[in-house]
Amino acid sequence: MGAFQSPKEWGSLITAMVTPMNPDGSVNYEEAEALANYLVDEQRNTGIVVGGTTGESPTLTDKEKTQLLATVLGAVGDRAAVIFGAGTYDTKHSIYLTQAATEMGAHGIMLVSPYYNKPTQEGLYQHFRAIAERTDRPVMLYNIQGRTGVNIETSTLLRLAEDVQNICAVKEASGNLAQVAEVAAAVPEGFRIYSGDDILTLPVLSVGGIGVVSVAGHVAGKRIVEMMETFFKAPHEAAKLNRKLVPLLKALFCATNPIPVKYAVSLLGFDIANYRLPMVSPTDDQKAMVQTAMEKLGLLEARAAVRGG
C-alpha cells in the first residue's frame, strides 16, 4: 500500500475542495491545480477531497469528476492524501466511480449517504458494504442527515466498521455530539473520526475525533491546524483560538455551501466565484459578511502573493 493509502496518513486537516468553474459553467482544471497546490503548500492541508458535495458533485459529469481527480493527484498526490467523493444515491453508479478512482490511484474513497431516496439502516449497510468491497482503498463514510434525510445510526456504523475491513473512517456531520461520542467509544482501534462541521471541530476532538473534513480549510487552514495542535497540548488555549474562528465559520455558511466559500476563495485571488445551477452567487450582504470575517482574521493581507501578484 502506497503513501497516504491509509487513514493514519491522511492527517488532521482535509479540505473538501470546491470545483473551479469558468463563467460558462465549464470546469477550470488549471485553476483546480493551482488551488490544490495552495491548499497543501500554504494552508497546511494534509488531504483533499475531490468530487465531494462541496465540489458541486451532483452537477458534475463522471468525466469531469475523474479529470478533477487526475488533476489534483498530479498536483499534490505526492504531498497529501487525495480522497475521491464517489458517493451517490445509486449503489451501482457509486461502485463504478469507486472502481474508476481506485484504478486512477486515489488514496481513499469518501461515500456520502444516499440522498433523497432515504434508505433504511439495512439499506445503508448493504449500500456501503457493496461499494467498499469493490476497492482496496480505505473508505470514509459521510454522515450528514441535513443533506441526505437519513442518519447513519451508531449501530449501523459499528456493524460496517466491524464487518468491512477498509471502512475505517467517518466524516461526522450529524450535528449530534452525543452520537459522535458514542461512536468514538465503540469503534475498533484505528478507526478515524473527523468532524464534518467546521464549527464543531473542537468539540469533536474533545470526544475522540482526530481532525476535520473542512470547508474553512480553503482560507483558514493554518488557523485551524494551529487550533487542533494546541488542543492536544493546552485545551483552554485551543478554546481561545477557536473563539476567534467562529465568526468566519458562521460567515462561510451564511448561505448554502459552497456558495460563500467559493466567494471567500475568490477574495484570495483565485478565479473561482462561478457556479453551476442550481447554485448561484451570494448576495451583496452575504459577500460583505464573508469579507468582513476574513479581514478581521487578517486573511486577506497576503492575497496578492497567492497567484504571484
Residue 144 has pLDDT above 50, yes or no: yes
Distance CA 280, CA 258 (A): 10
> 141 forms bridges with which residues in the sheet?
111, 170
Residue 98 has pLDDT above 50, yes or no: yes
Do β-strands 108-112 and 139-143 pair in parallel, antiparallel, or remain unpaired?
parallel
| Res 307: pLDDT | 56
Task: Check whether the bond before 114 is cis (ω within 30° of 0).
Answer: no
Indicate which residues carry an active-site annotation.
142, 171
Higher pLDDT, 36 or 147: 36
Task: Tell me the average pLDDT across 279-285.
Answer: 97
Handedness of CA 222, 68, 106, 174 (dihedral sign): positive
Task: Tell me the average pLDDT across 203-217.
Answer: 97
C-alpha cell at 73: 493527484
Distance CA 250, CA 269 (A): 22
| Res 301: pLDDT | 82
Q: Within a 10 A sphere around the Cβ of 117, how many other Cβ atoms?
A: 13
Phi, psi of 112 (to 5 degrees): -75, 150
| Res 158: pLDDT | 97
Q: Which residue type, as a one-letter code, is found at position 132? A: A
H helices within the chain, ranges in order?
29-41, 62-76, 91-104, 121-132, 145-148, 154-163, 177-186, 201-206, 217-231, 235-251, 259-266, 284-296
Distance CA 196, CA 200 (A): 8
Give the residue carrying C-alpha cell 464573508. 290
185: left (phi over 0), alpha (psi -120 to 50) or beta: alpha
Task: Tell me the average pLDDT across 152-161.
Answer: 97
Residues 169-178: tens digit of each pLDDT:
999 999 999 9
Phi, psi of 44 (to 5 degrees): 65, 25
CATH (residue range 7-233):
3.20.20.70
| Res 304: pLDDT | 47
| Res 53: pLDDT | 94
